[in-house]
Structure 1
Amino acid sequence: MRKLLLVAQLVGCTMIPRYERPPLPVSDRFPGGGGTLAAADQGWRKMFGDPRLQALIALALANNRDLRVAALNVEASRAQYRIQRAKLMPTLSGLGSGSRLAGGALTSGVLGGGGGGAAVVPIPETFYVLGLNASWEFDLFGRLRSLKRQALESYLSTMEAHRAAHLSLVGQVVTQYLVERSYAEQYDIAVLTEKSTRETYDLTKELYDEGQRSELDLRAAEAQWQNVRGALEQLSRLRVQAQNALVLLVGQPLPPNLPPPQPLATAQMICDLAPGIPSQVLLRRPDVLEAEHALLAANANIGAARAQFFPKISLTGFAGTLSIAFKKLFSDGTGLLAFSTMIGQPIFTGGANIANLDNAHVQKQIKIAQYEKVIQTAFREVADALVARETYERQLASQIAQVKAQEVRFDLSRERYKEGVAGYLDVLSAQNDLYAAQQTLIQLRADRLTNLADLYRALGGGWREN
């Protein structure tokens, strides 16, 4: 009984090294981080309040081809795990054969009686076999279980890769949507500016015809007008290209019944969030979990490599019937039962097993380095987004004040120009500065929202819908 218990304990053991998670190669806290709410706990519908953006994200998650490939990779990895798991179970197969020998006798040495000598043993020329064949590798040293664990961790790593693709897709849709909205709003500003420059040109031409303005003023007004018209065409092109990129991410043409977009200045478009303080929140990111499961798979492979040094024990058995006539296969006396055990012990492999074990250890060190690099990259992404969030708020407030000041300046310079007090260069300078300030403000708003979306993704948010 004790021997049976000992064997059972051995069968339940593997040679996989004990896993210890590598320490985080980053600071314990993010610089400038505040709040305690983990972004991963917020669904993307709560984070992104724009109904149009929500609809686009839902369409992308349903139709994006890259995400579909990632999901299929999970299924393929799961099938590989099932294949490896099945090797732990006995195999049972049916066997049926009919054989015909060239000769009907076999000369054999027979021992018996008072001596030995050659004897002729008759062998049937034709015989039939029908039965069941069973085999099982007795995984005493855990080689198969180590390979099963490796396959399981690879499967889990692929699952996390799918989650990472999911998060990345949500982030890409948000970013591209903001790019498209930025070009759309810049185009609207350019339309108003084109109208203003056209009016200024018409006024200058009228004054020029009356002899009150020089041709220099007229050509400057015309150049300004044509410059804005060119910018309109550029922004129109960029907006259509941004829409095409959005269509690629969504995986289908944009439906005509989408909700109307919200302005970039609307605070509810993307909610602000308070990131979790400790850097431990990075361990929830799918790409970090993917790297850790890859490390666990490499760790399990060491157990399989170690087991190669020990014997492989295989059990085989056969139960069936054998007869010289097919119709007598199931007659009395034709039963056949065979059982065998095979033990294979590596003796000389030319150093292959040692090299295989060394390679397994090296692969684990590679996975550790990759795991640490993923964490360092994640930490930098979060730290950059936190710093950018603080500066964007101050920069945005300053830019809003600048736009207001430029609007007043342009109105004053234009009135002075109409009254003949100021030259056109004052109007031209004020108009250029106002247009540039308005475009910069739109871009800043888009960049600020993009940064919030990047922070949300960097903290592991975007996997859950609600």
Structure 2
Amino acid sequence: MKLHTLTGALALAELLSACSMAPTYETPAAPVAANWTVSAGTPAASTDAVATAAAPVQWQAFFGNPPLREVIALTLEHNRDLRAAALNVQAYQALYRIQKADSTPTIGAQVAGSRQRTPADVAQALDAVTASTYTGGVGLVSYELDLFGRVQSLNEQALQQYLAMDSTHKATQLSLVAAVASAWLTWQADQQMLDVVSRTLAANHQALEFIVAQVDHGIATDLQRHQAQAAVDSARAQLAQLTRAVAQDLNALQTLVGTELPAHVRHAALPAQDWQLADVPVGLPAQVLAQRPDILAAEQQLKAANAHIGAARAAFFPSISLTASAGAASTELSGLFKGGAGAWSFAPQIKIPLFAGGRLRASLDYATLQKDVRVAQYEKAIQTAFQEVADGLAARTTYVDQREASQRLVKTSSQYLELAQLRYDAGVDAYLTVIDAQRSLLSAELGAVQTALQQALAQVSLFKALGGGVLEPAPAA
């Protein structure tokens, strides 16, 4: 058998492979400033201060609280959205392998047999003729010579789409980590505010009983009793509201996690000073933009669109397909294995596009427009990321002062309540002053918890904006 014919066809296919006709890819310039502008009077991030901030901070290092870290770990294992994103990555990987297979020849082995009866008048013989044919061999099945890079461009497009899906999976993971942390922090803050209101209600109820006793002895008035009762009713209403919020917070958290939380986590109520969120180093915009998975996904989609243009351009040029086989043929099955039965075939085919009703031009125009769309989406992703980091930096520099002020307000309000109670006991002021002092202290304590929550949520948002939390490196091409 002349197997050298098939070998020669494969060698020709390899020699005639060509480079892509896709445009030379250039990363669009980032439509943002070179440095972060935090706020008036606050210096922007400088190169000297952030020389070591090129790598993203992992979530295990950022979240130091053990219950929160356990919740995040459970989420990464059980969340259904993250599971679907991971399956999408595998699906696009399979599509890439399918497309990649077009770059290599398809070799098949086949053994076939046929019998054919020809009538006597058709065969121009005295009797009908029955003929048998048996063939066997190895063949090259319609392999396209990629002279103008069409298949190569399609391979590159599939690869970039796969990488973009993997980056999207990492972006989903990062967003999920931030969402779970925010839900957990909100739940903890509401529990803390519930505790504040519970203590306030107990104090107000004790004061009411004292006022009622004074009314019975003619020392206090009904007005003071009604004022004390109003304070109790107001605290009781807030208690019911926060009890509902805590229960709904836990439900929302467990939905995000995707499974029921362990008992020791469900009963973990920690004050703000025990939340243990690390400080995040801030790099220059170029560093931050290079590590955000959503921006990586946008650029990979842009590269895929760029490769699609190469495939659309190549469609204007002729395509050459090769079909070849080498084996044996005989009128008897046993004759396939005898000498002299060798057979081969070689059938190249050239297709030249002459007229397609404008389809090829429209396909190229569509591919070019799709790239323009991807450029706009990539630039928008950069602008959004830049704003998120700038907002996070502004929050970080201002919440420190706000939290210190809120803590001072709690201390001042507590002293105000002590003085108001002493003046009321001495008969100097009316009980309305005590009620006002209680209301001020409650408002200050709730405000301090809310400020601590807002500061923590701002830290989580900055952690997400800086591209932290990516657990795995990007897959190799």
Post-superposition shift, 1:463? 1.4
Worse-superposed segment, 54-63 or 297-306: 54-63
Q: Distance in 1 between matches of 2:424 and 2:430?
A: 6
Q: Name the SS for the 2:202 alignment partner.
A: helix
What SS does structure 2 have at the residue aligned with 1:13? coil
1:62, 1:6 → 2: CA distance?
Answer: 50
- Which residue, 18, 28, 31 being the options, matches 1:22? 28
Q: Secondary structure at the match of 1:130?
A: strand
CA distance in 2, matches of 1:226, 1:90: 82
Residues 421/92 of structure 1: CA separation in 2 closer, same or farther (3 Å cut): same
Q: Deviations over 1:195-233 (max 9, x none)?
A: 111011111111111222222221221121122112112
Residue correspondence of structure 1 range 31-430 to structure 2 within 5 A:
31-32=37-38, 33-34=44-45, 35-36=49-50, 37-38=52-53, 40-101=55-116, 103-104=118-119, 124-135=130-141, 136-258=143-265, 260=268, 262-266=270-274, 269-430=276-437
CA contact (8 A) 1:30 1:279 kept: no
RMSD: 2.6
SS in 1 for 2:108: strand
TM-score (norm 1): 0.90
The alpha carbon displacement at 1:390 in A equals 1.3
Report deviation, 1:15: 0.3
3-state SS, counterpart of residue 87 of structure 1: helix
Distance (Å, rounded) in 2 between the aligned partners of 1:437 and 1:92: 78
Q: In structure 1, what residue type is equivalent to 2:273?
A: A
Q: Unaligned regions of 5+ residues in structure 1, if any?
A: 109-117
Q: 1:238 aligns to what SS in structure 2?
A: helix
Q: C-alpha separation between the residues in 2 aligned to 1:94 and 1:174?
A: 58
The one-letter code sitting in structure 2 at the alignment partner of 1:285 is R
TM value normalised by structure 2: 0.88
Cα gap change, 1:9 to 1:380, in 2 (>3 Å): farther
Worse overlay, 318-327 or 226-235: 318-327
Deviation at 1:30, TM superposition (A): 0.5
Could you report, residue by residue, the CA deviation over 1:365-410 in whole angstroms, capped at 9, with x for unpaired residues? Answer: 0000000000000001001111111111111111111111111111
CA distance in 1, matches of 2:364, 2:260: 53
- Shift in Å, 1:311: 1.1
Which amino acid in structure 1 is aligned with residue 348 of structure 2?
A: T
C-alpha distance in structure 2 between counterparts of 1:218 and 1:166, whole Å: 56
Measure, in 1, the Cα distance between the counterparts of 2:121 and 2:272.
94
Query: Matched residues in 1 for 2:120 and 2:30: separation?
Result: 76
Distance in 2 (CA, whole Å) between partners of 1:38 and 1:209 is 69
Q: Is 2:192–2:270's contact at 8 Å kept on the other side of the alignment?
A: no
| In structure 2, distance between residues paired with 1:261 and 1:83 | 52
Match for 2:375: what amino acid? I
Q: Greater CA deviation, 34-43 or 68-77?
A: 34-43
Partner Cα distance (2:276, 2:201) in 1: 29
Contact map agreement 1:27 1:279 (CA 8 A) in 2: no
Unaligned runs of 5+ in 2: 1-10, 39-43, 473-477
Amino acid at match of 1:133: G
Structure 1 residues 75 and 8 mapped into 2: Cα distance closer, same or farther (>3 Å)?
closer
AA paired with 1:49?
A: G
Deviation at 1:331, TM superposition (A): 4.6
